Amino acid sequence: MRARLEAPDDSPFGPDNLPYGVFAPPGGGHRIGVRFGEQVIDLALALEDSSFIATDLSPLLVQGPARWREVRERVRELVESELPFEAVHSLADVSTALPIRVGDYVDFYASIDHATNLGRLFRPDAEPLLPNWRHLPVGYHGRAGTVVVSGTDIVRPHGQRRTDSGAPDFGPARRLDIEAELGFVVGVGSELGTPIDISEVEDHLFGVALVNDWSARDIQAWEYQPLGPFLGKSFATSLSAWVTPLAALDAARIPLPEQSPPPLPYLTAADPWGLDIDLTVRWNGHTVAHPPYGRMYWSPAQMLAHLTANGAATRTGDLFASGTISGPEPDQRGSFIELSWGGKEPVPVGDEKRTFLEDGDEVVITASARGASTARIGLGEVRGRILPARNRS
């Protein structure tokens, strides 16, 4: 028996997209698949290749750009033909898993609007941007082991918080926040001691996925000086189940905003590019922000070149993220600390006014990009619900 794939002409998951993920069909066992419309193609069966029976995308990623192009072209041909019935599943009938085996996770701070907003909040009487910000992509090394797939519940974290006396106490975070971000997946790693030249980034970079870098602002505020984020960030980072290959975003490439002063040579590309990707943040079903990735100051290529500039190695499945995506307008801010201006300007969420996340709240971040045809490309979603802090006795 054969099955024909179907997707409306305006589907964000049409033939121009074809994102990869890892799924388990009703019978169990994880496999690599491609999303087309509201269906999932089992690549092991469709391509008659057992290497796609895998718990993450590594068997594909490690093979490099030539193989990525070959598989993508074969899948584009498949969606125009009939497939074995057992190779096609309804999206509603499968469960999705974390698509990559995250060896290392780095989070950047690449939005000039976000960095300026936080500078004004935290240092109202000083220059918002610190002296190094326009010279390098600022970042921190996150915790790979707490990257979770979209849909995973997030337990409110514990940590130290400053009190009115100036001394800390210990308890559940009170100022729990989100960060709407774009994540980038390394396909081919690099050796220790060998930086990735900015001209070679696309030999290593496989694709893009949505990220929510959950943040406990009260814990972060007490602990981050002098070494930066730690427990306020490391408790959870959510990643979309679907990774859009970089090749699907060719039509979404746009010039970078002007960088002044010009970056140092190792961060200077012959054709610097950003991405025209628009995000939407929904809080308990209510749209509260539309962050624009196209305004990001530092590019994905500059981030990866800087990440390895000291000779740090990368591995297949490594993840780095853009940092919070924000724009110049109030409804373009990609974190609740910005939307509520540090808690001073509560945000309308339906019939309520809110500042930070409460137990039971659900946040869903979606995104779309300019596609090669009239339809926009969807980047899926990254979803998470807040559970109460666990009892600590």
| 67 and 197 housed in the same domain | no
Cα separation of the two ends of the chain: 59
Poorest-pLDDT segment among 88-92, 99-103, 371-375: 371-375
Which residues span the domain enclosing 82? 2-97
Identify the band that residue 27 occupies on the pLDDT scale cut at 50, 70 and 90.
confident
Among the candidates 97, 126, 159, a domain finishes at: 97
Residue 392 lies in a domain: no
| 192 and 263 housed in the same domain | yes
| 332 and 206 housed in the same domain | yes
CA angle (310 as vertex; 186, 223 as ends), nearest 5: 85
| 176 and 285 housed in the same domain | yes
| 308 and 348 housed in the same domain | yes
Q: Please determine, for residue 287, whether its predicted confidence score (pLDDT) is greater than 80.
A: yes
Number of domains in the chain: 2
| 242 and 339 housed in the same domain | yes
Residue 22 lies in a domain: yes
The rounded mean pLDDT for the chain is: 96
Main-chain phi, psi angles of 217, to 5 degrees: -65, -35
Q: Quickly list H helices, the chain.
A: 43-46, 58-61, 65-78, 112-122, 217-223, 231-234, 300-307, 336-339
Q: Please determine, for residue 270, whether its predicted confidence score (pLDDT) is greater than 80.
A: yes
Give the pLDDT confidence score for residue 6 in this predicted structure: 85
The residue from 89, 114, 204, 306 that is catalytic is: 114
| 130 and 254 housed in the same domain | yes
Among the candidates 97, 117, 141, a domain finishes at: 97
DSSP string, 229-293: -SHHHHT-EEE-S-BEEGGGGGGGEEEPPP-SSPPPGGG--SS-EEE-EEEEEEETTEEEE--BG
| Residues 99, 243 contacting (CB under 8 angstroms) | yes
CATH number for the domain that contains residue 227: 3.90.850.10
| 229 and 156 housed in the same domain | yes
| 219 and 301 housed in the same domain | yes
Q: Please determine, for residue 393, whether its predicted confidence score (pLDDT) is greater than 70.
A: no
Share of the chain above pLDDT 70, in %: 99
Q: Please determine, for residue 166, whether its predicted confidence score (pLDDT) is greater than 80.
A: yes
| pLDDT tens readout for residues 292-332 | 999 999 999 999 999 999 999 999 999 999 999 999 999 99
More confident residue, 26 or 219: 219
Residue 393 lies in a domain: no
- Tokens at 122, concatenated: 């935290």
| 25 and 115 housed in the same domain | no
Mean pLDDT (whole number) for 167-172: 95
Q: How far apart are CA 92 and CA 78, in angstroms?
A: 21
| 302 and 330 housed in the same domain | yes
Q: Is 114 a catalytic residue?
A: yes
| pLDDT tens readout for residues 199-255 | 999 999 999 999 999 999 999 999 998 888 999 999 999 999 999 999 999 999 999
Identify the band that residue 3 occupies on the pLDDT scale cut at 50, 70 and 90.
confident
| 92 and 224 housed in the same domain | no
Q: Please determine, for residue 82, whether its predicted confidence score (pLDDT) is greater than 90.
A: no
Among the candidates 52, 74, 97, a domain finishes at: 97
Give the pLDDT confidence score for residue 375 in this predicted structure: 81
Give the pLDDT confidence score for residue 369 in this predicted structure: 97
CATH number for the domain that contains residue 72: 2.30.30.230
Main-chain phi, psi angles of 279, to 5 degrees: -105, 155
Identify the band that residue 264 occupies on the pLDDT scale cut at 50, 70 and 90.
very high
Mean pLDDT (whole number) for 23-42: 95
| pLDDT tens readout for residues 340-372 | 999 999 999 999 999 999 999 999 999 999 988
